[in-house]
Amino acid sequence: MDTKLLYKDRLWEAVAAHPGYNLGRRELAALIRFLATASRLVPKEADVLHLASSTGREVPSIVGAMPGIRNYFLTDIVPEVAEQSCEKMRRSFPQTVFGAIAVDVEIPGNISRLRRHLPGPALIALTGNGAIFSNHQMDNNILQAMGTDDLFLLTLEESNRLMFKSYLIAPVFELLSQRGYPVTGKNVRIWYDQEAAELHMACRGEDLLVSYKPTAEQLHRRMFGAGFAEVAVEYYGHLHMLAGLYRKR
């Protein structure tokens, strides 16, 4: 679905605040744990290019764990969302230079163009966004943008028997209904494609949402096959989350 619909009438905020949506809380908890490892491996004065950073929820954790970050660029397909997030971060972390960029990171070449504006070693981050990472073109988009000293930070939910619960809530149905017809718990179909490692939500025969949720082994095969080398990878079983730091192989 059109990503811009996420922000209509604060629909995404309603999803994130819903008590039944525990995916967001688990994503953030896993990121915070992984940053204890990643912060020792990322160059102290790295520049950050945060892909699809949305409301910037994860930014304070990343900057807090890596206080030497010089430049931090937040990207989103909606200009107002990127700028609003940026303004909040500027007030909270005046020692870091924040920039807001309105861009569709799924379009080939866009990440490479953004990376060329960063002067030093870069940390490219894609956190808790299985929907964007279900697009396998992202592998090459990110890899082609990376220099030899750059790192890629990724967090994802792994496949698990409870993964449907965060999606079968009223705010998600309301968000998906922005396609133009009502989506409810009675007419939506949700399933997991084990071979593709994808969760699907569909209505009236149309895919409304696809999110990549691999096992640790599936993620390892995908990243190695795409040309990445693992710097550090951690699995948090109690959170059903995967986190990895990669370099270009």
- What whole-number distance in Å separates Cα of residue 191 and Cα of residue 200? 5
- pLDDT tens track for 146-171: 999 999 999 999 999 999 999 999 99
Spatial separation of the C-alpha atoms in residues 67 and 93, rounded to whole Å? 9
Closest listed residue to residue 167, CA positions, set 142, 202, 195: 202
Place of tokens 């002067």: 119
Q: Whole domain around residue 63: which residue ranges?
A: 21-160+213-248
Q: How many domains does the chain have?
A: 1
The pLDDT tens digits of the residues spanning 44-99 come to: 889 999 999 888 889 999 999 999 999 999 998 888 888 988 999 999 999 999 99
In a domain, 140, yes or no: yes
Residue 6: pLDDT above 80?
no
CATH code of 121's domain? 3.40.50.150
Decide: residue 6, CB within 10 A, 0-12 exposed, 13-18 middle, 19+ buried: buried
- Asked whether residue 115 is assigned to any structural domain, the reply reads yes
Asked whether 46 and 120 are in contact (CB, 8 A), the reply is: yes
Please give the structure tokens belonging to residue 64: 């807090």
Coil vs helix vs strand at 74: strand
Residue 200 lies in a domain: no
Q: Is 103 within 8 Å of 109 (Cβ atoms)? A: no
pLDDT of residue 138 exceeding 80: yes
Q: Is residue 4 part of a domain?
A: no
